Amino acid sequence: MKLVVGLGNPGNAYRNHRHNVGFMAVDALHDRHLGSEWREKHSGLLSRAMIAGRDVTLLKPQSFMNLSGRAVLKAVQAMGLKPADIMVVHDELELPYAELRAKLGGGHGGHNGLRDITAAISADYARLRVGIGRPAAGPVDAYVLSGFKKEEGAALDGLLARAADVLELAVGQGIQAAIDLTTKPQRKK
C-alpha cells in the first residue's frame, strides 16, 4: 500500500460521528508513526509517514463523504498510482461494532463514499471495513451521523489501535495478510 485513505466528513461538527471512523483510524496510524504535519492538497488533508519501512501517504478527503472520489482521483493521478496501491478505511454498517474486515475490491454496499471512489478510479482497491453496526431503530443516515454510545466510546481507542495494526500489516506484508488476520475470530481490547 502506498496510499491509505480514511473516509469521513470534515469539520468539528462531524469529528466524533460513526461515519468518521475512517478519519479516526488514519489519525491513529498517523500519530503512531509520527506522520508529517497535515497539509491541504488534492482536495484533502495529506500527510506522509514511514510505516513498516515504507514511505506511505495518508489522505483524509475534505470534500465530504459522498464526494471522496475527487480527492482520491487527484492523489492517484499526482502520485502515479493504480487502485491496487490504495487502501480505503471506512465505517461499515454490516459488521457489528468493533469488528474489522480487510478485503480487496468488491461493491460499495450502499456506502456513498465508496461509490464515489469506485466511480473515480474503479473498484480494485483494498478496504478496511470498520464495524459500526446497524441502528436498532430509526434512519441509517441519522445513525451514522451521530456519536458513539458510552460503552462504544470506551472501547474506541482499542478499536482504532487494532485498525492501525491491520493497516500496518497491509502496508508491510500486503492485503492478503490483512485479510487473513481479520477473517480469524477477533479479540476486542
C-alpha to C-alpha distance for 126 and 85, rounded to whole angstroms: 8
Helix ranges (DSSP H) in 39-187: 68-79, 112-121, 140-144, 150-173, 175-183
- Which residues on neighbouring strands pair with residue 18, listed in sequence order? none
Please state the separation of Cα 10 from the chain's center in Å.
14
Helix intervals (H) in 87-149: 112-121, 140-144
**Residues known to be catalytic:** 19
Closest-CA residue to 28 (of 119, 170, 121, 162): 162
Distance between CA atoms of residues 29 and 23, nearest Å? 10
CA distances in angstroms from 178 to 23, 37, 138, listed in the order given: 19, 27, 33
- Give the DSSP H/E element, type plus range, for residue 11: none
Alpha-carbon separation of residue 121 from 75, 106, 118 (angstroms) = 11, 13, 5
